[in-house]
Amino acid sequence: MIKANRLSPEQYQENFSDIHPPFETKDAAIVEANRCLFCYDAPCIKACPTSINVPKFIKQIVTDNVKGSAHTIFLSNIMGAGCSKVCPVEKLCEGSCVYNLMDEPPIPIAKLQRYSTEIAMKNKWQLFQRKETTGKKVAVIGAGPAGLSCAHMLSREGVDVTVFEKEKLGGGLMTYGIAAYKVTPQFCEDEVDYITSIGGISIKYEQELGRNITLQELREKFDAVFLGFGVGLARQLEIPGEEFEGVEDAISFIYNIRNKGFENVAVGDKVAVIGMGMTAIDAATQAKRLGAKEVTMLYRRTQEEMPCTQAELDIAKLDGCNVIWLTAPKEILGTEGKVTSLIAEVMELGEPDASGRRSPVPTDKQFILEVDMVIKAAGQMPYEYVVMKHQLENKNGKISVNNAATNLEGVFAGGDCVNGGKEVVDAVQAGKDGATSILEYIATNARMKS
């Protein structure tokens, strides 16, 4: 049966506590930092989409220069605190650490990054000086990682930035789309405040492009516009029975956990989660932690092709989630409007598709899974209607850009609305790239006018 309030407040607290706790002492951080070999041409820097100078910030921890260390991190990634909690480091910096080649545990880069950035945020250290105002104004759509990173870099250069955000809070995916045991709503709010404390950035909430603001109006009022509105709509399964009560998309499920309070989010006894990306894992593990008795993840390919990392899969397995590989949903069955079971189809792998992965091909075998809840996590779709409405050149709703510039004069874009959905750290870099192009554009326009 689908119901809320399955656990005691203490159990919710325990189930959703920080999954990667910080160092308990300064000495513990320094001991780990001292293991770093400070490699020349360090692979960990190259593996970071924002190119954080990892050996430098670790060396600064060794010498107890925490302020310098936080500055090194934030210089490359203003969301370095959040990224230290949500980045899939096993496939990025830590995955490339040379210690892996020696069969030894890699340097805990994320934990060290968290160490410095948390101290900086707690002490509200303002590590960047905003340049004198240039009188230039830029509108940013979306207060997520791409938008905030773009806004911060522009503000540092003396540009006045107005961010338009459709939700009530900033942070984007960090605030609304990530498992609550990785980042808390309070942390996300603190991070937004910390970023905007540089000054010159004002966020206007509950302002949505195409609803209460238009691109034309922004292009008239501002010197440039950056679009960083992400992706949002959950991909439908397009199978019979999706309308039954108990079928929910992973994004709104995770959103509700972040917004309504754990005890108010209903979950089934037997839950099926469709998909094997990070969002699917976050939905499955949280369903289990909300008190679901059985959670089964269905993926139409094999473990080799799964989009999530091994570490994420391990979390789901440790939480007791089952995984059925090579299986796709075929039909959802129900009685009295409520889900009762799922007909699943057994797949096999065929030729590689456009993604380079072998494509799943249905066999004639199928089976029935008894479930009372189905969570759809088969990917998200771009806000195609917004993109089309504003005549932005695009590929299947993903905005086409050239050095962050769109086909519209003075309009730039980056992050998930361009790439269709990647990591938070990729969006941060896209925001920086957008700011770089905008600064060049503004400077060129100023030269032409003089």
Among 19, 39, 101, 318, binds ligand SF4 (CB under 6 A): 39
Size of the site for ligand SF4 (CB under 6 A): 14
Q: What single string gives the DSSP state of each residue in 198-260?
A: TSSEEEEES--BTTTB-HHHHHHHSSEEEE---EEEEPP--STTTTSBTEEEHHHHHHHHHHH
Residue 110 binds ligand SF4, judged by CB under 6 A:
no
Q: Is 109 in the site for ligand SF4 (CB under 6 A)?
A: yes
Q: Please report how close the Cβ of residue 40 comes to ligand SF4 at its closest, in angstroms.
A: 9
Closer to ligand SF4 by CB, 92 or 250: give it.
92
Q: Which is nearer to ligand SF4, 32 or 305 (CB)?
A: 32
First CA to last CA distance, the chain: 70
47 binds ligand SF4 (CB under 6 A): no
Angle between helix 278-289 and helix 250-260 axes, rounded to 10 deg: 50
Complex with ligand SF4: residue 41 or 304, whichever CB lies closer: 41
CA distances from 415 to 10, 81, 92, 122 (A): 38, 19, 18, 28
Question: Measured between alpha carbons, how far is 375 from 247 in angstroms, rounded to an integer?
Answer: 6
Contact 108, 92 (CB under 8 A): no
Is 37 a binder of ligand SF4 (CB under 6 A)?
A: yes
**Residue 340 Cα distances to 176, 232, 237, 270, 320, angstroms:** 29, 28, 17, 10, 22
Of the candidate residues 42, 154, 231, 401, the single one contacting ligand SF4 (CB under 6 A): 42
Please tell me the total number of residues recorded for the chain in this structure: 450
Nearer to ligand SF4, 53 or 256 (CB): 53
Please tell me whether residue 105 binds ligand SF4 under the rule CB under 6 A. Answer: no
Stretch binding ligand SF4 (CB under 6 A), from 32-40, 389-397, 404-412, 421-429? 32-40
Shortest distance in whole angstroms from residue 403 CB to ligand SF4 = 29
Query: Would you count residue 107 as binding ligand SF4 (CB under 6 A)?
Result: yes
Instruction: Provide the total of helices (H) and of strands (E) in the chain, helices listed first.
Output: 18, 17
Q: Which residues contact 87 (CB under 8 A, 6 or more apart)?
A: 93, 110, 423, 424, 425
Residue 43 near ligand SF4 by CB under 6 A: yes
Considering beta carbons, is residue 83 or 328 the nearer one to ligand SF4?
83
Judged by CB under 6 A, the stretch of 7-15, 36-44, 120-128, 203-211 that binds ligand SF4 is 36-44
Name the segment binding ligand SF4 (CB under 6 A); options: 94-102, 139-147, 341-349, 398-406.
94-102
**Where does this chain touch ligand SF4 (CB under 6 A) — which range of 24-32, 38-46, 193-201, 415-423?**
38-46
| 29 belongs to the binding site for ligand SF4 (CB under 6 A) | no
Q: Which residues from 51-90 bind ligand SF4, rule CB under 6 A?
A: 54-55
Q: Does an H or E element contain 377, and which?
A: none
Q: Is residue 97 at the binding interface for ligand SF4, with CB under 6 A as the rule?
A: yes
277 binds ligand SF4 (CB under 6 A): no
- Give the integer Cα–Cα distance in Å for 67 and 367: 58
Q: Candidates 33-41, 171-179, 264-272, 434-442 — which segment interacts with ligand SF4 by CB under 6 A?
A: 33-41
Token pair of 17, please?
A: 């506590």
Per the CB < 8 A criterion, the answer to whether 54 and 84 are in contact is: no
Under the rule (CB under 6 A), what is the footprint of ligand SF4?
Answer: 36-39, 42-44, 54-55, 97-99, 107, 109
